[in-house]
Amino acid sequence: DTAVSQTPKYLVTQMGNDKSIKCEQNLGHDTMYWYKQDSKKFLKIMFSYNNKELIINETVPNRFSPKSPDKAHLNLHINSLELGDSAVYFCASSQVQGDEKLFFGSGTQLSVL
């Protein structure tokens, strides 16, 4: 009965590889997000989707490509991984756009070697 679930929890990979993180929410929320949290705990928005449409696209390298097949799912694909991509990536959802009471997934710890 997990509200926002993301997989995998841990991802260890080599530089240059391509990887994906999946996220699903069963809360019936309209808006989903990807956040990146660096080693200093600084949490920064990457993307926001409202009902499958891209709303926020921060200054993120175009190696990062989100995809939302429906409003309950938001996946993140990362091409040509770099050392600096190592971080914890959180998926989140909120009931409607502009309502920033976020429900976070458990996070994906990405380590690029």
CA distance 44 to 64: 14
Q: Which is nearer to other proteins, 82 or 100 (CB)?
A: 100
Q: Which is nearer to other proteins, 37 or 75 (CB)?
A: 37
CA distance 45 to 33: 7
| Whether 99 contacts 48, CB under 8 Å | no
Site string for other proteins, 8-37 (x = CB under 8 A): ------------------------------
Q: How many other CB atoms sit within 10 Å of the CB of residue 58?
A: 13
Pick from 21, 102, 110, 112 the residue near other proteins by CB under 8 A. 102
Of 66, 45, 68, 48, nearest in space to 56 by CA: 48
Regarding 86 and contact with other proteins (CB under 8 A), the answer is no
Q: Which is nearer to other proteins, 32 or 102 (CB)?
A: 102
In the complex, the residues that contact other proteins under the rule CB under 8 A are 40-45, 48, 56, 90, 100-107
